[in-house]
Structure 1
Amino acid sequence: RRRRRPPPPQSPLEKVAAQAELSLPQLAGRWFLVGMASRCGYLAEHSHRLEATAMTVTVLDGQSLDISTFRKLDGICWEIRQRYLPAQARGRFLLKGEGDWAGVDVVVGETDHSSYAILYYQKGRSISVKLYGRTSRVSDAVADKFEQRVRAVGLSEDVTYYFPTYGGWHTVPWEQGAPMARAAPGKGPAAGTEALQRGEREAHPHGFEQFVAPCHPQ
């Protein structure tokens, strides 16, 4: 009699519940990246070089999300665009892209829509957790929630990083007339100008825009 194979182990993201009663229209708008937990070796090595990062969320067709992420690189503010497609359940998405960008599962784990959002990203069995705020600072209570969720998926404070703030006015460089450049939606290092390709390859050898797409150990 043939033995049944044991079921495959549950992935970390399968254990994460999506935000109940998630409202995509209320999720839309500006968010600042406050913190990130990831075992990415490159991120650990270059954590002293973290740049303030923000994103704008736009709801498409009532169920997909268009994400424009803004980050400074060598004095230029880059806009990187991504598309989050709806997955099987509300609050779960698939990041559309190519190469390192393909097959990334995204879950909105917790948000109050007005002050913070905790998002999970997983490719394969590698997972990262990000904390976003409507301003570049969040309350201690929200930071505690984020760190509890980080521990719940097997990450620790040793791989948790907090991003620089923009100061008391919560302004961002591209609102002050800084040079802007753009990359095409969902593309990897082949997208954008030659300067973007060269700069991002030098700065982030593990893939385009480490702090937008999840970073995965090589």
Structure 2
Amino acid sequence: MAGVWRYTLAVAVLMCLWDFTEAVGGAVSRPRPVRRPPKKPKVDPIDLTQPAQNIDIERMTGTWYLLLAASKCSFLMTQGTKVEPTVMVLTRTPDSAQTLSVSTKTRHSHQCWEIRQVYTLTTTPGRLTLKGARPEMNTEIVVGETDYTSYAIIYYQKRGKMTMKLYSRSLDNLSEPMLAKFEQLSEKQGMGLAYLFPFPTYSHCGTVDEDHIINCVPTC
């Protein structure tokens, strides 16, 4: 009888050991969790936009009339049908070779306003920065394409949001192929026809009262 008891106890111990080794073995044999691949660094759209080769900033100076904008900014999305004629004048800053003075005139509440800004040149020709109150508020600017004498396509990015603008040296409408090209480029940025906003080409502002001269960073 004692022998049978010892045999039963031995079997019970072996079964416990078997269960334990099964448990341990099962844990070891489970496939190791697959590590997620590291996230690709975020690439801003502006970083994928290469400026035209050998942009001569001196030849970009002068008067430019805004003809067309492509943007998803809230202002244009809600007020795009009420945009006013807008003209931009670029001049070299007298006291610095690394900056560009920008004067933009437009109407607001039936009055002419002038917005004065300063663009900082970067080491890449055709790339500029409009500095905000903090670095994350900077506006990055790229002269995507221009022939200096008739048109310029300029990209603006602020806080990851892109705006494209088509400028003309004169008030004459640009050719259909050029307008179609701008539409194609804006489509590549995810801005189809619903995000295109034409600007008037008549009744631009002339002189502006000092009370209507401001220094600020437009949202679009």
TM-score, normalised on structure 2? 0.75
SS at structure 1 position matched to 2:88: strand
Q: Which runs of 5+ in 1 are unaligned?
A: 189-212
Mapped contact 2:84–2:107 kept (Cα < 8 A): yes
Q: How many residues align?
A: 184
Mapped contact 2:56–2:125 kept (Cα < 8 A): no
Instruction: Write out per-residue CA displacement over residues 31-54 of structure 1, whole angstroms, 9 at most, x where no aligned residue.
Output: 001111111233122122110000
Mean Cα displacement is larger for which, 85-94 or 154-163? 85-94
Tell me if 1:12 matches 2:63.
no
Q: Percent identity?
A: 33
Identify if the C-alpha distance between structure 1 residues 77 and 101 changes in structure 2 by more than 3 Å, giving closer, same or farther.
farther
Give me the whole-angstrom Cα distance separating, in 2, the residues matched to 1:98 and 1:183. 19
Q: Which amino acid aligns with 2:48?
A: K
Mapped contact 1:87–1:94 kept (Cα < 8 A): yes
Give me the whole-angstrom Cα distance separating, in 2, the residues matched to 1:147 and 1:214. 22
Shift of 1:70: 0.3
Q: Which amino acid aligns with 2:197?
A: Y
Mapped contact 1:118–1:131 kept (Cα < 8 A): yes
Tell me if 1:140 matches 2:192.
no
Q: Provide the residue aligned with 1:173 in structure 2.
A: 205
Q: Which runs of 5+ in 2 are unaligned?
A: 1-34
Shift of 1:57: 0.3
Shift of 1:94: 0.8
Mapped contact 1:86–1:93 kept (Cα < 8 A): yes
Give me the whole-angstrom Cα distance separating, in 2, the residues matched to 1:68 and 1:97. 17
Shift of 1:124: 2.2
Instruction: Write out per-residue CA displacement over residues 95-133 of structure 1, whole angstroms, 9 at most, x where no aligned residue.
Output: 023379931111010000000111111112211101111
Q: Provide the residue aligned with 1:205 in structure 2.
A: none
Shift of 1:172: 2.8
SS at structure 2 position matched to 1:173: coil
Q: Provide the residue aligned with 2:72 in structure 1.
A: 39
Identify if the C-alpha distance between structure 1 residues 47 and 86 changes in structure 2 by more than 3 Å, giving closer, same or farther.
same
Give me the whole-angstrom Cα distance separating, in 1, the residues matched to 2:136 and 2:63. 22
Q: Provide the residue aligned with 1:209 in structure 2.
A: none
